């Protein structure tokens, strides 16, 4: 008998046995399963509903071309037995490239309500949705929690920030406070990051004062790093320097943020001094640090200093320049008339120049009248 002719028979057996409980059922062959994901999904659902998760997992693993239907079947069955395992499965589903559909979402909502009266399962699912960029689903899921905890609020804030719903994020923060939840480290980081994106120094400085008032992570390095980044991006270097000098336990991110801010706002010599100071205090720059200081040299016309840094990346600091570093140094050379040096750098690149590099180089040639380069 051909595999596809077994499908109706197997489905009939499934529906019959679902009404009889977990009785004997013949195991289909892998050939039978390969005839269609529909049969496999029905078998997974059957075994899961009969609390036979071992067989459900086994059948699921043998389905060759899994789709959202078979994932839903397994996730739905696991929710009845183990909500934690179902959340793990949902994460695996997303990582496999299969996106949830409305049924997955409604299943998650219904089952988490049944499994627990608190917000932990929903928080876990909402965090997965949020990381995958499904912000509407994240907000919809969390809005159905009757008693949100601090984690629920912070996931909701992060979803708004990532979806550029900045006004809504601050409205949520007000609602969070009205329900008695104080700002914690993660709340502070989410809101300060929004201030950086929308260039609102007034909001950022107000949040800074509030962080100090409620003692919400003001002594935490990662909160101070975000504060430092916010002040530099909003153009308040005095405040940025004050935050940096008052920090306990600075790390490489702290130094990089300060160097980047100083170079961006024209204080390139101070940025280079801080770069040297960073090394003297035992911090080894990484590729991001070099990108920050090279960008500063590019914007401020320090060709000699920029080339010294670029040439020492690999020889001294053992960092292989990537495409962004080459773009920065070639823009520096081409912008200030060092066309031959730029041409030499291009010819020595370990990978093919991209369109940005050629455009920068040709603009330099045109600017300095070297049309034969």
pLDDT of residue 98: 75
Give me the percent of the chain exceeding a pLDDT of 70. 70
Q: What mean pLDDT value characterizes the chain?
A: 79
Over residues 92-114, the pLDDT tens digits come to: 776 777 766 666 666 655 554 44
Is the confidence at residue 245, as pLDDT, over 60?
yes
Q: 């907000």: which residue's tokens?
A: 139
At 132 the pLDDT is 59
What is the longest distance spanned by two Cα atoms in the chain? 87
Q: Pick the range with the lowest mean pLDDT from 83-87, 173-177, 186-190, 296-300.
A: 83-87
**Three-state secondary structure call for residue 321:** coil
Tokens 């395992």, residue? 85
pLDDT of residue 122: 60
Token code pair at residue 91 = 């994460």
Q: Does the pLDDT of residue 259 top 60, yes or no?
A: yes
CA distance 295 to 334: 14
In this predicted structure, what is the pLDDT of residue 23?
47
> Which of 101, 99, 79, 97 has the alpha carbon at shortest distance from 88?
79
- End-to-end Cα spacing for the chain: 74
Look at the block and give the residue holding tokens 């975000």: 226
**Structure tokens belonging to residue 105:** 């979402």
Task: Decide if 266 contacts 300 (C-beta within 8 A).
Answer: yes
Nearest-angstrom CA–CA distance, 222 and 318:
27
The C-alpha atoms of residue 332 and residue 295 are separated, in whole angstroms, by 9
What does the pLDDT look like over 164-219, one tens digit per residue?
A: 888 888 988 888 888 888 888 888 998 999 999 999 999 999 999 988 888 765 66
DSSP labels, 333-362: HHHTT-HHHHHHHHHT-SS---HHHHHHHH
Higher model confidence: residue 241 or residue 62?
A: 241
Alpha carbons 27 and 40: distance in angstroms, whole number: 11
Between the CA atoms of 105, 110, 114 and 118, what dihedral angle is there, to the nearest 10 degrees?
60
Measured CA to CA, the distance from residue 337 to residue 167 in angstroms comes to 46
Q: Which of 361, 356, 358 is nearest to 333 (CA)?
A: 361
Distance CA(362)–CA(34), nearest Å, equals 57
Q: What is the pLDDT of residues 329-355, one digit of tens each?
A: 999 999 999 999 999 999 999 999 999
For residue 317, CA distances in Å to 279, 290, 350 come to 11, 10, 18
pLDDT of residue 318 exceeding 80, the answer is yes
Shortest CA distance to 122 belongs to which of 93, 163, 151, 162?
A: 151
Q: What is the pTM of this model?
A: 0.68
Confidence of residue 30 (pLDDT cuts 50, 70, 90): very low
Rg of the chain in Å (alpha carbons): 29
Q: Say whether pLDDT at 118 is over 50.
A: no
Q: What is the mean pLDDT of residues 262-273?
A: 95
pLDDT-based confidence at residue 2 (cuts at 50, 70, 90): very low
């Amino acid at each position: 008998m051909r595999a596809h002719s077994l499908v109706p028979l197997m489905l009939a057996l499934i529906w019959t046995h679902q009404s009889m409980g977990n009785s004997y059922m013949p195991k289909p062959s892998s050939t039978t399963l390969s005839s269609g994901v529909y049969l496999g999904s029905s078998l997974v659902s059957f075994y899961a509903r009969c609390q036979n998760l071992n067989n459900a997992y086994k059948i699921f693993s043998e389905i060759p071309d899994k789709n959202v239907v078979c994932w839903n079947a397994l996730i739905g069955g696991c929710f009845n037995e183990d909500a934690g395992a179902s959340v793990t499965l949902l994460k695996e589903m997303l990582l496999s490239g299969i996106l949830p559909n409305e049924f997955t979402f409604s299943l998650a909502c219904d089952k988490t309500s049944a499994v627990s009266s608190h917000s932990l399962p929903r928080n876990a699912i909402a965090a997965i949705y949020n990381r995958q960029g499904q912000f509407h689903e994240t907000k919809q899921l969390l809005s159905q929690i009757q008693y949100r905890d601090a984690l629920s609020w912070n996931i909701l804030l992060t979803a708004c920030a990532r979806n550029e719903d900045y006004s809504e994020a601050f409205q949520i923060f007000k609602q969070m406070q009205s329900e008695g939840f104080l700002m914690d480290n993660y709340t502070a980081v989410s809101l300060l990051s929004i201030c950086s994106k929308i260039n609102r120094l007034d909001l950022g400085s107000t949040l800074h004062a509030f962080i100090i008032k409620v003692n919400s992570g003001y002594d935490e390095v990662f909160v101070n790093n975000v504060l430092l980044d916010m002040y530099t991006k909003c153009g308040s270097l005095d405040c940025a320097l004050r935050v940096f000098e008052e920090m306990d336990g600075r790390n490489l991110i702290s130094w990089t943020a300060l160097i980047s801010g100083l170079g961006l706002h024209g204080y390139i010599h101070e940025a280079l001094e801080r770069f040297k100071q960073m090394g003297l205090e035992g911090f080894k720059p990484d590729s991001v640090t070099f990108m920050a200081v090279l960008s500063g040299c590019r914007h401020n016309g320090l060709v000699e200093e920029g080339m010294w840094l670029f040439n020492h990346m690999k020889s001294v600091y053992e960092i292989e320049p990537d495409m962004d570093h080459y773009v920065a140094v070639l823009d520096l050379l081409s912008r200030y008339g060092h066309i031959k040096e730029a041409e030499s750098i291009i010819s020595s690149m370990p990978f093919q120049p991209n369109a940005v590099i050629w455009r920068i180089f040709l603009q330099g040639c045109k600017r300095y009248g070297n049309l034969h380069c």
